[in-house]
Amino acid sequence: MGMSAGYQLARRGVTTLLIDSFDPPHTQGSHHGESRLIRHAYSGDPAYIDLALRADALWKEAEEHSGTELLVRSGVLNLADSSVYSFSGRLAEAEKRKVRVEPLDAAEIRYRWPGLSIPDRFEAMYEPDAGYLYSEKCIGVYRQLALAHGAELLPNTAVQNVTARGGSVTVHTRNGDYHAAAAILSAGAWFGTLSPFITLPIKAVRKVVGWFQSTPDFNAGSFPGFTLGAGEGGYYGFPSIGGAGLKIGRHDTGLEWKPGDPLLPFGSEESDEGDLRRVLEAYMPGAAGRLLKGAVCKYEHTPDEDFIIDRHPVHANVLLAGGFSGHGFKFSSAVGEILADLATTGRTGQNIRPFSLARFDTPPGQAQAGLTLEGI
């Protein structure tokens, strides 16, 4: 989010300083592991579909400006056991917003993707224009473009504290203090370290993904990105790209992680591989081969899994972007544009009301029953 905002500010000619504890892209936050799904047919607030469509256009623009392939339109197949999840809401929203989607029954799914072994009670919503982004390349490209437009980057520099007074913001680091007319805070899993300047309802969790040896049925070019909702839980994944093996992760569950805690490597928990393999054996047996690689990453959940994109409640010149709850990457091109618009003009053309901090002032409604798959 930060690199995207930095690029958008620098290209507007704004003097921009980017500060990061590491050297992005890196493997400590939420963005590594090669790929992220980009889908457009969200349910819930229609703001998500609009944001996804704008983000898609901006990814294509970044590809043109950099000459680097960032987005692969592999299609995304959303699979679900109809006894735990229904696509009806998303299909209806997609139709309203002219997002192409195809409802499929089990026989059609098995016919089109012979590697899948799914029972008759499964159904799917296929999104032909969806696909995946090369996440580290996206950040690399925004970094290169931001610096080309004159932004400065301070890598390996942790922000220790932020203060704001009289229309100026000061960011304190062990290498010195930096003053600005405005600041954007997008601290991912580390927002807790910026308290008490800002305290957000964000809980970070450790997430794992694995790459499994798979048959050619699951190769990029013939197999799409996917999400899968079943009695076992909510999953998502990617075809085998360049022989790397089918990649799969679990969207629900995860051990809480707090800044300063060690991040246990893949395999520390028996369920790291077990949870993934169980689902592959059940529904994609040809992709349940040897574990080729595992990685550990972080989600930052808000209580309702909607994002936080807002101003600081006291300091209007400080913008906040966090709590992307495991589904933010696809939107980051558009989130950067929103943040830059807010920082420079005070306005944005996107509807960011669903992402306001004020929504946490009212008690949450009745928790939604069943499995939620919207947020992948």
Ligand X SMILES: Cc1cc2nc3c(=O)[nH]c(=O)nc-3n(C[C@H](O)[C@H](O)[C@H](O)COP(=O)(O)OP(=O)(O)OC[C@H]3O[C@@H](n4cnc5c(N)ncnc54)[C@H](O)[C@@H]3O)c2cc1C
Q: Judged by CB under 6 A, does residue 33 bind ligand X?
A: yes
Q: How far is CA 263 from CA 28, 32, 237, 255, 276, in A?
A: 9, 14, 22, 10, 19
Closest-CA residue to 257 (of 35, 37, 30): 30
**Contact between 18 and 151 (Cβ < 8 Å):** yes
Tell me the residue number closest to ligand X, measured at CB.
29
Q: Judged by CB under 6 A, does residue 264 bind ligand X?
A: no
Q: Compare residues 101 and 171 and give the one whose CB is closer to ligand X.
A: 171
Give the residues across from 299 on adjacent strands.
205
Per CB under 6 A, contacts with ligand X among 144-163 are: 158-159
| DSSP per residue, 160-228 | EEEEEETTEEEEEETTEEEEES-EEE--GGGGGGGTTT-----EEEEEEEEEE---GGGBBTTB-EEEE
Q: Judged by CB under 6 A, does residue 209 bind ligand X?
A: yes
Query: What is the identity of the amino acid at 275?
Result: D
Q: Judged by CB under 6 A, does residue 8 bind ligand X?
A: no
Q: Compare residues 26 and 149 and give the one whose CB is closer to ligand X.
A: 26
Q: Judged by CB under 6 A, does residue 330 bind ligand X?
A: yes
- Measured distance CA(43)–CA(41) in Å, rounded: 7
φ, ψ of residue 26 to 5 degrees: the values are -145, 180
Q: Pick one of 324, 342, 352, 373: the residue that binds ligand X (CB under 6 A).
A: 324
Q: Compare residues 229 and 328 and give the one whose CB is closer to ligand X.
A: 328
In the complex, least distance from residue 106 CB atom to ligand X, rounded to whole angstroms: 24
Q: Compare residues 14 and 139 and give the one whose CB is closer to ligand X.
A: 139
Q: Judged by CB under 6 A, does residue 284 bind ligand X?
A: no
Q: Compare residues 120 and 323 and give the one whose CB is closer to ligand X.
A: 323
| Cβ partners under 8 Å of residue 114, min gap 6 | 217
Closest-CA residue to 292 (of 240, 232, 251): 240
Q: Compare residues 22 and 111 and give the one whose CB is closer to ligand X.
A: 22
Q: Which residue has the tokens 């704001």?
A: 164
Q: Choose one: 30-38, 68-76, 211-219, 360-368; the region binding ligand X (CB under 6 A).
A: 30-38
In the complex, least distance from residue 329 CB atom to ligand X, rounded to whole angstroms: 3
Q: Compare residues 109 and 184 and give the one whose CB is closer to ligand X.
A: 184
Residues that bind ligand X (CB under 6 A): 1-2, 19-22, 24, 29-31, 33, 36-37, 158-159, 186-190, 193, 207, 209, 236, 249, 297-299, 322, 324, 326-330, 376
